[in-house]
């Protein structure tokens, strides 16, 4: 009986307090910005063409901070180089079921001994030298090689050759490859690197007429009287 009376009492209180007490103070309409509309307005104010041109100019004018500059070759020649590398940390391995030290930190080794396949040749030249560009375009464009430039714009040279061109960067890479002059072709020859140097004139031809080029390599011309012998 008490529970019934208490329930009626609560119901009567809720009815009493549900009465409209009127409006007190000022009432304002809620105004919130249309987020989608705001995004569209900001997007329409962006000059995308300007941004594209700025980004394109940055690409065209990019120069790596550690680009390597080489001297222009005065004489054509061929020489060999071993790209010694140093073990950065102790290297362990399993031998006869036991863990043994294979290489100590600081040990030197020839990485060419462990190549699973012969890598692509590298052709290094000056991208600011018109004669070297003409030479590379004439003798190496159809060869299986990768192009690296020591100066100039990779964007412009790539466009002129019609193939990707990269920067020759990093003193460590220069020392590892043993290259000193342009134009140079680097080929893996057994456990050594074969560096073929081409001395090129301003017209894009070899300076020394005693040499000929075949398949992108240097050959000494044989005179007719020597052939007769």
pLDDT tens for residues 197-207?
Answer: 999 999 999 99
203 in a domain, yes or no? yes
Residue 70 confidence (pLDDT): 93
Query: What are the pLDDT digits (tens) for 80-119?
Result: 999 988 888 888 888 888 888 887 888 888 889 888 888 9
In a domain, 78, yes or no: yes
In which band, very low, low, confident or very high, does the pLDDT at 31 lie, cut at 50, 70 and 90?
Answer: low
Q: Is this prediction's pTM over 0.75?
A: no
Domain membership of residue 9 (yes or no) is no
Cβ within 8 Å of residue 229, ≥6 positions away: none
Assigned domain for 130 exists: yes
CA distance 28 to 30: 6
pLDDT at residue 17 greater than cutoff 50: no
3-state secondary structure of 189: strand
Residue-number span of the structural domain to which 209 is assigned: 71-85+101-228
- The residues pairing with 35 across neighbouring beta strands, listed in sequence order, are none
The per-residue pLDDT of the chain, averaged, comes to 81
147 within domain boundaries: yes
For residue 204, is it left (φ>0), alpha (ψ between -120 and 50) or beta? left
Which single residue is written with the structure tokens 């430039």? 149
SS3 84: coil
1 part of a folded domain: no
Q: What is the pLDDT of residue 115?
A: 86
Q: Is 124 a domain residue? A: yes
Quote the percentage of the chain above a pLDDT of 90. 43
Q: How many domains does the chain have?
A: 1
Q: Which of 102, 108, 153, 146 is nearest to 127 (CA)?
A: 153
| CA–CA separation, 132 and 85 (whole Å) | 31
- Specify the higher pLDDT residue, 185 or 173: 185
Q: Assess if residue 23 is contained within a domain.
A: no
CB atoms within 10 A of CB 115: 11
């Amino acid at each position: 009986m008490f529970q019934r009376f208490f329930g009626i009492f609560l119901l009567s209180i809720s009815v009493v307090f549900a009465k409209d007490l009127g409006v007190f103070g000022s009432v304002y309409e809620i105004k919130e910005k249309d987020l989608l509309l705001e995004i569209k307005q900001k997007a329409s104010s962006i000059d995308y063409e300007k941004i594209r041109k700025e980004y394109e100019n940055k690409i065209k004018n990019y120069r790596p901070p550690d680009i390597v500059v080489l001297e222009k070759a005065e004489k054509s020649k061929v020489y060999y180089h071993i790209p010694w590398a140093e073990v950065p940390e102790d290297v362990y391995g399993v031998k006869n079921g036991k863990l043994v030290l294979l290489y100590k930190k600081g040990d030197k080794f020839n990485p060419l001994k462990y190549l699973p396949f012969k890598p692509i040749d590298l052709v290094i030249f000056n991208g600011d030298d018109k004669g070297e560009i003409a030479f590379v375009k004439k003798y190496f464009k159809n060869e299986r090689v990768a192009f690296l430039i020591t100066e100039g714009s990779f964007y412009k040279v790539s466009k002129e050759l019609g193939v990707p061109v990269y920067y020759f960067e990093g003193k460590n890479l220069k020392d590892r490859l043993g290259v000193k002059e342009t134009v140079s072709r680097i080929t893996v020859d057994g456990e050594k690197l074969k560096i073929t140097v081409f001395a090129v004139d301003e017209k894009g031809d070899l300076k020394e007429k005693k040499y000929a080029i075949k398949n992108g390599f240097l050959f000494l011309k044989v005179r007719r009287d020597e052939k007769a012998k």
